[in-house]
Chains A and B, each alone.
Chain A
Amino acid sequence: MWKDFVRGLWADNPTFRLNIGLCPVLAVTVSALNGLSMGLATTLVLICSSALISLLKNLIPAKVRIPAFIIVIATFVTIVDLVMHAYLPDLHSVLGLFIPLIVVNCIVLGRAEAFAAKHSVLRSAVDGIGMGLGFTWALTLLGAIRELLGSGSLFGMALLPEGATTLGIMSLPPGAFITLGLLMAMMNMITARQKKTAS
């Protein structure tokens, strides 16, 4: 059970290791808070849909499983979308298009197909939590770096004095690509070093 949880955090981290579900990673991470909330919204969908799909795995015929999974996922996404619209309207307008697009996030469908369709409800839910949190920390880290360098603040709190020069490019699309590329290189270096010390 513990293994199911930690796998998503590091060894099979969806962003840095599996390189899936990258669109929201790049698009919403202008600030740390946006990254965190997008991550948590995806985590919620992931836990609910993994648990329900695992519950229904013996009822869904193998031939139509992909459309059935998509319907389950789309239902939970619609719920999250409507709840956020009602209670967090500011956040909802910032994340905008990328909330409904959780439906086509490969992480959710990927975990449904690769894990939830074969394992018990509890294990699937735990796997969902691990993968979701792995995705969340990646988004929050990228958001924090871009917010710090791009607008000199962190979680909305200004850290640099008024009028300090910031790297405006970090808030623009090129900044997202370049930061993620460098972060991936860093993860590769850490893994290579771990392997070296292990052997």
Chain B
Amino acid sequence: MSLFTILLSALLVNNFVLVRFLGICPFMGVSKDVDSAIGMGLATTFVMVVAAAATWLIQWFILEPLGLPFLQTLSFILVIASMVQLVEMFLHKTSPGLYRAMGIFLPLITTNCAILGFAIMGVQNSYSFIETVIFGLGAGLGFTLALMLMAGIREEMQFADIPKPLRGVGIAFIVAGLLSLAFGGFAGLV
């Protein structure tokens, strides 16, 4: 598979949120306005790309040679948690502006199942190093895209007259369903 195919597939055809159901919690929680959606999306993309490199190295240079693949879940989640912490410290030191913008979202990223999910998927597909990084980039941008679309729609929906029981999460899920239907149109693109 070419790198472009991997990127496009993770971004649109198999969009992480709308087709694979990964990262639903932040998708529902942080999609109330477009600005925070972009902040959350970019912070997640950044961690995904860093985590892609780290988990690939761990899987093929530590776990496989030592015959320890059963420790995959345990080691990946620890690496992701410490990556998030590291990114947080690094941003705090080098770019306080960006840190303030992303600050509150960073700790939430650890429990975003899209990150652990894509790391395990990358191993299952036995991607090469560069393919894993591109896959992470595509997955992160796909997450950002879904989050931004959702936030835009939810901002407009504030003025809509929604039946009372559906207000809040109910209508958000139905909108997500329609978005998912639209993304179904990308099937067969790759």
Contact = CB atoms under 8 A, between A and B. Distances in A.
A105 B177 contact: no
Nearest to A103: B77
Given A174-B184, A185-B166, A78 B74 contact: yes
Contact of B173 (A70, A178, A192): A178
For the residues of B in contact with A, the DSSP-based class is helix
Given A104-B113, A174-B184, A182-B170, A27 B74 contact: no
Interface stretch (A18-26, A53-61, A114-122): A18-26
B77 A180 contact: no
B24 A26 contact: yes
A82 interface: yes
For the residues of A in contact with B, the DSSP-based class is helix
A175 B71 CA distance: 35
A71 B74 contact: yes
- The range of chain A's interface size is 35 or more
A21 B170 CA distance: 16
A177 B20 contact: no
Contacts of A181: 166, 169-174, 176-177
B73 interface: yes
B165 interface: yes
- The range of chain B's interface size is 35 or more
B36 interface: no
Interface in B47-62: none
A166 interface: no
Contacts of B180: 173-174, 177
A172 B183 CA distance: 12
A78 B166 CA distance: 38
A184 B164 CA distance: 12
Interface of B: 18-25, 28, 70-74, 77-78, 81, 110-113, 116-117, 120-121, 124, 163-166, 169-174, 176-178, 180-181, 184
Nearest 6 pairs between A and B by C-beta? Answer: A181-B173, A177-B177, A178-B177, A27-B21, A181-B174, A188-B165
